[in-house]
Amino acid sequence: MPLEYYLIFIALILGCAILGASASAKVRSAYKAYGGMPTRSHMTGYDTAQRLLWANGARGIRVGRVRGMLTDHYHPTKGVVNLSDSVYGNDSIAAVAVAAHEVGHVMQKQKGYFPYKLRSVLVPITNFGSRLAFPLVLIGLVLDLLVYANQGATFGYYLAIAGVALYGLSTLFALVTLPVEYDASRRARKMLVEEGILTEEELPYAKRMLSAAAQTYVASLLTSLVYFLRFAVWVFFLFGGRRRD
């Protein structure tokens, strides 16, 4: 691969790394600012999750606790909303916003929100595809070299293209994740006000917290896209850019 392509990719990857670090810093800054700001309702993250689940008819979902800071997540197969130590017993605006966001994912599953369903389908496919991508490209290269003398398209070439497509599933997953996360935050803000957990005056602070978190997914998407393009271009040059019929 020409040196200029490496330099371009390095610049893009560095840019994505800076964007990702900036997004993470904004999340930490937002949580520091609003994680010490008690809500007027004095409801904790646990209280919030329980209230919202009950109010929305999600009777079979439990609220659990996991170690760490902002390690919160919804586990659909186990039917549990796991809240981190920093959120579970915290009655701050940031904590209830994060807890409500996770309940937002529960609502997406129960309401059959299409991007959420699509992302759930992509999880095992993406994991499987990412493991096969590089082996397929390498096998394709060997086959291509063995039969190149025959001229024209070879099975090896198309096998390598299949590897690139499988690698691209991770970028597709990151793309589908964006509307899922933004929609969960939208649902969270709506539920927090409807259930009286936050007032209209407190809501903008929760929105800033959730918006900061959403930026990390934008950074992840851009990073995934850059790596996918790098992989695709690498395969193109690996096969010598030969014309295929």
Q: How far apart are CA 177 and CA 23, in angstroms?
A: 16
Q: Which of 4, 102, 181, 201 is catalytic?
A: 102
Query: Cα separations (Å) of 232 from 9, 59, 130, 166, 235?
Result: 12, 46, 14, 11, 5
Q: How far apart are CA 216 and CA 4, in angstroms?
A: 29
Tokens of 143: 């086959």
Q: Would you say the C-alpha torsion 202, 28, 208, 194 has a positive or negative sign?
A: negative
- Tokens 């186990």, residue? 78
Query: Cα separations (Å) of 168 from 10, 138, 216?
Result: 19, 17, 20
Q: How far apart are CA 214 and CA 230, in angstroms?
A: 25
Q: How far apart are CA 123 and CA 136, in angstroms?
A: 20
102 is catalytic: yes
Active-site residue numbers?
102
